[in-house]
Each structure stands twice: as C-alpha cells, then as structure tokens.
Amino acid sequence: MKIVVFIKQVLDNTKLKFSDGKPVMEGVPMMMNPFDEYALETALKLKEQAGGDSTVTVISLGAPNAKDIIKKAIAAGADEAFLLSDAALNDGDSTANAYALAKGVQALAPDFGVLVFGQMALDDAAGQTGPKVAEILDVPSLTFGKNVELQGETLTVFRESDRGIEIYEMQLPGVICMMKCDYELRSSNIKGVMKANKTEIPVKTPADIALEPALAGVAGSATRMVKTWQRPAKSGGKVVDGADAKAAINQLLDHLREAKVL
C-alpha cells in the first residue's frame, strides 16, 4: 500500500514576538507543524499494519528551506519525499493549496491507499485542506482522528467529537486528518538520520505536476489575509472567597449581575 503524508513547515509561534501589534518574523525558527507530526506517526503505523511492500511518501508545499523539515520525516522512517515549491504556489488559501496538493498526488502517487493530513496548521488553524483534497480527488475523508486500525482495504478511524470517541470504517482509498493522537511519537535513530542526510528531496514545479498556475497560489485564492494582530492579554479575573459558602454564592451572583449575565 502507498501511504502519503503531508507535512507543512510553520513558524515556531512560541518564539513569535509582536511590535506595534504586528508579528515580527525575522529570526523566528521554523518547525514541523505539530499536528503533522502525528500525521507522520500515523502514516508509519499504517505502513507497519499494511506490511508487505508498503511505503510512506511525504509531500510538502512550501519554500525551498522546507527540505530540512522533510528530512526529519525521512529520518523517522518515511521512504521518499517531494517538495512542491515555486513562486506561483506562494501565499495560497486552503482551496488553492488543496488544488496544488491534489495535483501533486495525481502526478507523484496516483495509486495511493491513504492520504494522511494533520487536522490543522498552527499558522491558520483552518482545518480545511485535507477535506478539500479529498473532494478534488473524489475519495471519502474523516477528520479529528485519534487512532487508526487497518484491516485489508478497510480503515477503522477513532474520531474525537464533542460526544466522545466515535468509531468509523472507511473503504480505501481515502483521506484522514489527525489530531494529537493517543500514541507516542517515535524518535529518529542514527540509521534514520544517516539515510535522511543522504536523501535528495526532489523539488517539483507546476509544470512537473501538470498544475495550472492560475488555480494555485495567490491567483487561485478566493480569500486572503488582510490583518494579523496579537490576542489581547487576559485580565486577572475576580476571585470569590470560598470560606463562607453562602457569602461566596452571593458574591458570585453579584459578579454575574455586574457582567449582565443574569
């Protein structure tokens, strides 16, 4: 089985600073999107469950320096990787990016069994790209995955919802989007790191994957980001003295009336 996992390079937002309400990105390190780390681990688990000559292919859409993040996936156990990188692909919204990734799949892994995405990216938290790729490729998709089990061509997905864990079965091929999962991430070993250092990451342009530039990047985006700002700092709140239960209730009611909740 061919398993494809999608990895995005994002800014380490724990190191992000703001000046005059605007983000200062210079000097901020890049990292693998945290949800994509669980997508990668899920892909590697599926490879183990499928057995045989199953492989894990990484596809990333981004700048040339995303190769450093991709090599971490190779070190963890992925078999091959491709980077979609071109000026025509920059700054796309989720629809434009989904189109580019779907064209990448059609060109580089047309016989895929499972496409594995992280549920969302830290930079926009939209959670739309995976399902949109599924729609373009006309395959089923499931979001908010917590765990997976593969039996032949049937994938059981344990999905997190407001009502608890839901269990679904999907006939492959299909798309899954993973949250922070119930299993630990594996670490790279020396053999994996050596393999990653030797692995060349092919860079694919729109022409390589038969992509129409007018449908990708800024040109293919129906939406655009017009403003970014820092979340206002939270106030300290109000503390209710619980020493006297009756008095505490009255204090709480007074605060709720003051806030016009009651």
pTM: 0.85
Report residue 42's pLDDT band, with 50, 70 and 90 as the boundaries: very high
**Mean pLDDT for the stretch of residues 162-191:** 93
Instruction: Name the strand (E) or helix (H) holding 220.
Output: none
Report residue 151's pLDDT band, with 50, 70 and 90 as the boundaries: very high
Question: Taking all residues of the chain, what is their mean pLDDT, rounded to a whole number?
Answer: 92
Where do the structural domains in the chain lie, given as residue ranges? Answer: 2-215, 232-262
Mind listing the pLDDT tens digit for each residue in 89-129?
Answer: 999 999 999 999 999 999 999 999 999 999 999 888 889 99
Mind listing the pLDDT tens digit for each residue in 179-206?
Answer: 999 888 988 889 999 999 999 999 999 9
Selection from 24, 32, 38 nearest residue 228 by Cα: 24
Q: Give me the CATH topology for the region 2-215.
A: Rossmann fold (3.40.50)
Per the CB < 8 A criterion, the answer to whether 38 and 8 are in contact is: no
Q: What percent of the chain has pLDDT over 90?
A: 71
